[in-house]
Structure formats: C-alpha cells, structure tokens
Amino acid sequence: MKFDPKKITIKEVGPRDGLQNESVFVPTADKIAWINQMSHTGLSYLEVTSFVHPKWIPALADAVEVAAGIERVPGVTYAALVPNAKGLERALSARIDEVSVFLSASETHNVKNINKSREETFPILAETTRDALAAGKSVRGYVSTVFGCPYEGAVAIEDVIRVTDALLEMGVSEVSLGDTIGVAQPRQVQEVLEVLLKRFPADKLAMHFHDTRGMAMANVLVSLEMGMTTFDSSLGGLGGCPYAPGASGNIATDDLLYMLHGLGMETGIDGEKLQTAALFIQEKMGRPLMSHSMQACQA
C-alpha cells in the first residue's frame, strides 16, 4: 500500500465529543489535567469543550473554567464547539483559539440537536463565523449526519453539498464531515467522497467517524486512499452525540495512531505519552475505555 501525502493531522475531540455524552461529570480540575497531558503528546489540535447551553450538555457546563484553566502549549490549537453568539461570547472570554460551528445535513437531526431548522441556523452560524473571524479566531465547520440520520435514514448528497457550500461561503477554513451515528461503510465513504472531492479540495475537508458498527477504521483507510489527510478522533474511543440515538464513541485516537504509524504515516504524536493520558482519563471515568489499544495494553 502506498499513500501520498504521508503527513496526517489528527484532531483530538475527546474532551468535547468524548465527554459530552458521558453520564459521569468529570471534575473541572481533572479535565484540565487531562487536556494538559494531551498537550504534551505531539497532538497539534485539541477540541477542549463546548459552549453550548449547559442544560443541553451538563457534562460540559464548566466550559469557561476548563478553557480558561488549561496550559497553552505553543503550536497546539485549542478549539471548542460554539452554536451561536452567546456561545461565542463565552468562548472569547475563555480565550479559545478556534471556533467550531455545526449543523446537520438532515433537517430532523438539526432540529433535535440545536432546536432550529437548517434555514434558521444558517444566519446564526454566519453571524458567529463573521464575529469570530473579526475577533482574530479561525473557524471550523461540522456537518453532521453526512452518511445517515437517526430520524430520517438516508441523507441526500445534495443536502451535504448545500450545507458544506454554505459553511465555506461563511468563511470556515475546513469542513468536518460527520458520520454522527456510525452508519457509514467503506463503499459509501468512497462514493460520497468521489462526489464531494469533485467540488471541494481535499484540504478543505476532514473526516469525523463514529465507530458504532466497527467500520470507522475501514472508513479511514478508504478516505486515506482518496487523499484525505485530516481525521477527528477521541482518545480511548470516548464519545457520542446525545441528540443522536444510537451514536457511540468516535474512532479511537490510540487505535488510529497505531494504524497510521504502521502505514508509515507521520502524525507527530508520541503513542506512549498518549497511552498515559488514556490511562489517566480511564481512571477518572471509572470504567474501561473501549479502544482496542487500551484493552490490549491492559490485557
């Protein structure tokens, strides 16, 4: 197997996508200690929390304290999810580097997740993006339910294109394509990327796979073959989306790293240091983490 280019960017979303769906509230000091450990593993990007409404995501109600309390290691981008102007105000007060706005390709998931139709969401995200850019922040966009919706089933590629176009027009630097409920399989990933890559350059897109059906690694491999170089993942496989029934964890950063390094790809990340950080958060969660690497290292 030969892949070109060999440099891959991993965006660690565990402190946000991982923790948002957990019933355990990880104390603020532990979240900060965990993020600080990951900052020294060679990861260049950490999504550290979410400035959504704390009633909607109680596990991340301490977003301001977490983002304001972490160490800022040079060369690491500290990002957070931001749904609207109120979220941006909180994110700016906590000195976040990058803002991630989000919406869904499918209408029903968008309404369940952020209480607005897609049409109502566009101007809110446009305003948030404009104001974040004006404040000197970079902005990333997520499209959820790209490969399937928990309420509507199949999602039309035209909807994915429309929402991706809208985000790029607003000025986001990259769009992350979310398999929110982990239904994608390799052939579908290939077919979807064949269409999208005719319209958008690969370096404007990232892949965000959840591993509900064990397909995430195969989906990454196909994406690599199609020229994708940026992947979101969550240490130990933590994660899910509380407003997407059936969603489970993201692809595990530790497992992803094992495959990428085995393929000769460069990530800049130290696997041993990452494992130490995984053991730390596992102890705080009080349950075994789901990744294969974590199970193997403790067997």
Q: Using the minimum distance from each CB to Mg ion, give the nearer residue, 41 or 233.
A: 233
Interaction partner, residue 229 (Mg ion, ligand HMG, none; CB < 5-8 Å by kind): none
- Side chain identity, residue 170: M
179 binds Mg ion (CB under 5 A): no
Residue 241 annotated in active site: yes
Helix H or strand E encompassing 260: helix 253-262
Long-range Cβ pairs for the range 117-125 (8 Å, 24+): 118/163, 122/166, 124/83, 124/84, 124/85, 125/101, 125/166, 125/167, 125/170
Catalytic residue chosen out of the listed positions 155, 235, 241, 269:
241
For residue 17, state whether it binds Mg ion (rule: CB under 5 A): yes
Stretch that binds Mg ion, among 9-17, 69-77, 149-157, 218-226 (CB under 5 A): 9-17
Give the separation between CA 82 and CA 88, rounded to whole angstroms. 6
62 is a contact residue toward Mg ion (CB under 5 A): no
Query: Smallest distance from the beta carbon of 44 to ligand HMG, in angstroms?
Result: 19
Is 238 or 260 the residue whose CB approaches ligand HMG more closely? 238
Residues that bind ligand HMG (CB under 6 A): 17, 20, 50-53, 56-57, 81, 83-84, 86-87, 90, 102, 113-115, 142, 144, 178, 180, 208, 210, 241, 243
Q: Which does 234 bind (CB under 5 to 8 A by kind): Mg ion, ligand HMG, none?
A: none
Give Rg (Cα) of the chain.
Answer: 17
Supply angle C-alpha 230, 231, 237, rounded to 5. 165
Angle at alpha carbon of residue 224, lines to 220 and 226, rounded to 5°: 115
Residues lying near Mg ion in the complex (CB under 5 A) are found at: 17
